[in-house]
Structure 1
Amino acid sequence: MRGVNAPLYNTRILRLAATIPHQQRLEAPMASVEKRSPICGSRVTVDVDTDQDGRIERIGLLVRACALGQASASLMASHAVGKTAAELGAARDSLAEWLAGAEATPDWPGLDIFVPALPHSARHASIRLAFEAVAEAAAQAAATQPVPR
């Protein structure tokens, strides 16, 4: 696998970790989910509001994680607005499968940056946190939307 011997913490990961978008909690979100890694203590809280079609309209984050968790939150938050709960759930699932050994890189911009983390299974939970939290929050928010007549 190309890049597996690359440094775990590289300039791209550190740059993403330092530039997380939407790093302000929403005042009264439709849904809010916190996920924590029991291995390292990393924690990500995601607040979301969705539009009438169930797409993420606004997102807010509180990220207290290692550089890998921060970089993952940055990638997630950069592309989550406009996505549905189903799309975010699919991204979460494909990321988890890829980290567990599936061949295909998930269809989410930038996740190939985590190739050096593939052999470090203790780091996978932190990488998954933001995607798990946003998928769950989007599903909760979608469940509160009135059914169209």
Structure 2
Amino acid sequence: MSAALYNTQILKLATSIPHQDRLAHPQGTSERRSPVCGSRVTVDVVLDGEGRIAELGQEVRACALGQASASLMGAHAIGRTRTELEAARDALTAFLAGTRDDPGEWPGLEIFGPARAHSARHASIRLAFEAVAEAAARAVSAEAA
């Protein structure tokens, strides 16, 4: 991998993942794995009365890129709705695939620009965003039941 792919910013994010404790009583949980590299991210959420993330917990067992992505997701997920999380997931996916020029509204995701050329790394980068969107969807479904 090139030096630009694993840069100082990526490594700094990878060592500062917020909300690293799983929640005792989540409303929604999702575990996502990358079959390519074996990275795994598990996300727990609790929603408030308006359907926004009030509590977040995550367990991250991933490469530096997956850890950096989990760090960015965790830093900005509190207060977000399911719709916002799904939009962030979809924008990141399109950005990595090259079908979108920017990574969307989520702060910091432009750092993954150099990874666009490394499709084998995309799944690991997407894990945290896929997991949080799915956990929020499960929490909404649990509330509706």
Q: TM-score, normalised by structure 2?
A: 0.95
* Shift of residue 107, structure 1, vs aligned partner: 1.2
2:124 maps to 126
2:47 maps to 50
Distance 1:17 1:104 in 2: 22
* Shift of residue 145, structure 1, vs aligned partner: 2.2
Structure 1 vs Structure 2: percent identity of aligned residues?
64
Q: How many residues align?
A: 143
* Shift of residue 7, structure 1, vs aligned partner: 1.4
1:112 is aligned, of 110, 113, 116, to 110
Gaps of 5+ in 1: none
* CA RMSD across the alignment: 1.3
1:89 is aligned, of 86, 89, 92, to 86
Aligned 8 A contact 1:31 1:140 in 2: yes
Give the partner amino acid of 1:68.
L
Distance 1:118 1:90 in 2: 19
* Shift of residue 143, structure 1, vs aligned partner: 1.7
1:67 maps to 64
Q: Secondary structure at the match of 1:142?
A: helix
1:38 is aligned, of 35, 39, 46, to 35
Gaps of 5+ in 2: none
Q: Secondary structure at the match of 1:130?
A: helix
Distance 1:105 1:40 in 2: 23
Q: TM-score, normalised by structure 1?
A: 0.92
